[in-house]
Structure formats: C-alpha cells, structure tokens
Amino acid sequence: MISANDLRKGTVIKLENELYSVTEHQHVKPGKGGAFVRTKLRLLKKNNIVEMTFRSEEKIEDAYLERRKVQYLYEDGDNIVIMDSETYEQEHIPKEVINDAMNYLKEGMDIEVELYEGQIINLYPPMFVELEITFTEPGLKGDTVGGATKPATVETGYTLQVPLFVNNNEKIKIDTRSGEYVERVR
C-alpha cells in the first residue's frame, strides 16, 4: 500500500480489481480543509482515462509489475507474436494491449513488456526508433519560414509531421514517447 502523496506519473495502482496507470497527478493544498491529490488514471485493459481525487493520507494498493525483454517477430491477424529473449518461447498478444506502440514496431526489434501476475499488460518500444519514409509529398522550394512541416508515412503505416527537406526512402529517427520526428539518419 502506498500513500496518495506517493503517486507519480507511470505508477500502476489497483482499484476495484482493475489496474490503472497514473498519467497526471497534482497535489492540492486548499486554504481550508485537508490536502488532496487530483489524478488522471488510464485503465490499462480498456485504455480509458478516468479522473480521480484522493485524500492525501488515503492508502492505495500499488501493483508490482515485472519487466521483461522480448523480441517482436510478426503480426498475426488481431495479435502480434513476440519471443522471450531468454527462453525462446513465442507468445501471442492481442493488439489492444499494445496501444500506440504498434506505430513503431518492426520485425526483429527488441522491446520490453510489462507483466502483472504473468499477464502482459503493456509493451514498450525503444525510446527512439529508425524507420524509413514510404511516402511524403515533395517540399515546396522557398516555403521554409517558421519550420514548416509536411505529413509523411513510415514503413509501419504511421503518419507524422516532418520538415520539408525530408524525402521518400530516407530513414528518420522518431521519439516513441511523443511520436515526433527527431532527425534524419544518414
């Protein structure tokens, strides 16, 4: 059990037999009355965002999560197939568990999974990935004021904004936390 004051972004807690991940937290000390913690929680099963308020002295059950390195192998219908890097066992994971991480996954990529009581509840690609642009419109010459951008689609099907000088078939580095362009890879 942890105190509501100990809630931080990324902390996973258990409420009413469901797992929630803290996405935002704010400690509030009003002029009158007791302090409280205002939070936004993401329900891990359904990816819903819920706002909750806890009294600062309130105790909350925290969930122990195990992290494991695996390798992403391939897509199989509504699932993806991963392989444990130590035991070489393959496992199918429903795509709804993966959320936005699917935008960055390439076959053979090393990733991390988070497990709770043996069940995979979350998947983490590397912080930065290098992907090839499969389609983007050519940039217009002279249209460079204010860091102009254009949409580009990468090999995984994900579309993001890139600078005008980036062309088709170039590799770019993407920050998987924000989904934004970082730089061209030479």
CA distance 107 to 73: 5
How large is the average pLDDT for residues 131-136? 94
- Does the structure show a pLDDT above 80 at 21? yes
Look at residue 142 in the predicted model and tell me its pLDDT. 63
Q: What is the pLDDT of residues 80-100, one digit of tens each?
A: 999 998 899 999 988 877 777
pTM above 0.85, yes or no: no
Q: Which two tokens stand for residue 125?
A: 């690609």
Residues paired with 159 in a beta bridge: 153
Averaged confidence pLDDT in the chain: 88
- Give the up-direction half-sphere exposure of residue 54: CA atoms within 13 A in the CB hemisphere: 23
Task: Output the furthest CA–CA distance in the chain (Å, rounded).
Answer: 61
- Does the structure show a pLDDT above 80 at 144? no
Look at residue 180 in the predicted model and tell me its pLDDT. 93
How large is the average pLDDT for residues 159-178? 92
Q: Which two tokens stand for residue 84?
A: 């444990």
Look at residue 83 in the predicted model and tell me its pLDDT. 95
Handedness of CA 69, 23, 183, 163 (dihedral sign): positive
List the alpha helices (DSSP H) in the chain. Answer: 95-98
